[in-house]
Amino acid sequence: MSVKRSTLTDSGWSHLGVVARTGSVFLPAAAIGTVGHELGHWVSSHLLGCAPVLHFASVSPHCPLDAPPEVELLGVAAGPLSTIVCGTAGMVGLARWQKTAQGLDFKGIGWTVLALFWSRPLFNLIVQLGSVALGLVGPQRLEGGDEARLSMAMGWHPLALSIAFAAMSLGVVVWTAFQIPQRLRGSWAAGAVSGALAGFAVWMGVFGPAWLP
Ligand SMILES: [Zn+2]
């Protein structure tokens, strides 16, 4: 058993190869994650009687003027909910894969992409706090975004839900990394971060605005 494991783990997957393969699987992750999240908003708004329009990183709800405020809030909540459901499905798949995994195959990398849908609240909070700290945007930016709108609707501090979800997000990111065989973990992480960030830039800057303006 141990012979088989070491043979497969070492079979042609140099560390640079792991970085490249992981990076390529993570390239479309930001686009898929963003559209999946926005579809959560779109589907729920549609079901609630609005006429939503899907954009590459947002949804215009277009609800009837006489719609109760809960309708718009449910539409807001459905985005993060969709992301969490997908991410949790990824965690289940990853945990099952990990039990029989021999090294890091494409299937395993794919499950980590889905599990890391959970990284959205952590990523958003870092970008939000970072851009306010650097003076790129005003502090009112902290009141934008799904979690902030839901927090304020509950009468909480605008960052309350963002921080709670970012803490859970951090836990899932660490858990996900620990499902990867230890000797490949660093290479997987390097590929995941570089692939996801490159894909994010290309989706937000090029394909997103062109395909879903
Ligand atoms: Zn959203």
At 148-201, the pLDDT tens digits run 999 999 999 999 999 999 999 999 999 999 999 988 999 999 999 999 999 999
Distance 159 CA to ligand 1 centre (A): 15
The tens digit of pLDDT for each residue in 66-76 reads 989 889 899 99
Distance 40 CA to ligand 1 centre (A): 8
Q: What is the DSSP letter of 155?
A: T
Report the alpha-carbon distance of residue 22 to residue 110 in Å, rounded: 9
For the chain, the structural domain boundaries read: 21-209
| CA angle, 13 then 87 then 71, to 5° | 155
pTM: 0.88
Which distant-in-sequence residues (6+ apart) come within 8 Å of 213 by Cβ?
55, 56
Distance 147 CA to ligand 1 centre (A): 8
Distance 79 CA to ligand 1 centre (A): 5
Distance 41 CA to ligand 1 centre (A): 7
Distance 12 CA to ligand 1 centre (A): 41
